[in-house]
Amino acid sequence: MRRYVPRRVRRRRRVLTTVALWLIAACAAAGFVVARNPALVHGAPESLERARIAWDLLCLRRTLEVTVRSAEFWGPDLLIVDMEVRNRSPVVVLCQDLRLVDRRGQVFFPSSTSVYYVNRQESLWMRQVNPGRSISGKFAFIVADGTFGLACGIETEIGVIRLSAIREISRRGR
């Protein structure tokens, strides 16, 4: 059996629902007009551009593919990672923004001395990956030996975005 609701309450609810729907429709129409003609509102072009950049950065997890071919410790804390970076995003990716992230969230930066451990042609230091391209090479990271759960990530304006886990790490000479 349905609960009794006074007619005045039903009418008030109907009016509030109608007003809410009209407000939503008006906001959507105004948003559409501003998106089509951003110059109508002061500051809208810059805000729309920032929103596009934020959207591209949030989509990096699906559009930027990092494949780790091998990861090998050379000594107690020097990790050489051989990787391929495939960029399907609309933005240029700088390889020096690549990071390693452990399970606890600690971030490890690529060593600027990578060129001493990896020959110049294989080093990813100071290289970029344009949209629709891929590049492969090696990076040297200073990582403590007892670190677990390493994953490749990329540093962005919104923080480090984890991309792919490193499945196996070996030791040189073993």
Quickly state the pLDDT bin for 104 (edges 50, 70, 90). confident
| Tokens representing residue 102 in the block | 């452990």
Domain boundaries, the chain: 7-58, 60-171
Block residue for tokens 């990092």: 66
For domain 60-171, which CATH number applies: 2.60.40.1240, 3.40.250.10, 3.30.930.10, 1.20.120.160?
2.60.40.1240
Give the highest mean pLDDT range of 2-11, 118-127, 144-153: 2-11
Q: Which of 168, 151, 66, 142 shows the shortest CA–CA distance to 103?
A: 151
Which pLDDT tens digit goes with each residue over 80-99?
999 999 999 888 888 888 89
Which pLDDT tens digit goes with each residue over 127-174?
899 999 999 998 889 888 778 889 998 888 878 888 888 888 888 765
pTM of this prediction?
A: 0.68
Quickly state the pLDDT bin for 115 (edges 50, 70, 90). low
Which pLDDT tens digit goes with each residue over 23-82?
999 999 988 888 888 888 888 888 888 888 888 777 888 888 889 999 888 888 888 999
C-alpha 158/C-alpha 151 separation (Å) is: 18
Own/partner contacts of 1-8, CB < 8 Å, gap of 24 or more, are none
The C-alpha angle 101, 65, 51, rounded to 5 degrees, equals 85
pLDDT at 38: 82
Stated as kind and residue range, the H or E segment containing 51 is: helix 44-58
pLDDT at 159: 82
Residues 164/67, Cβ–Cβ less than 8 Å: yes
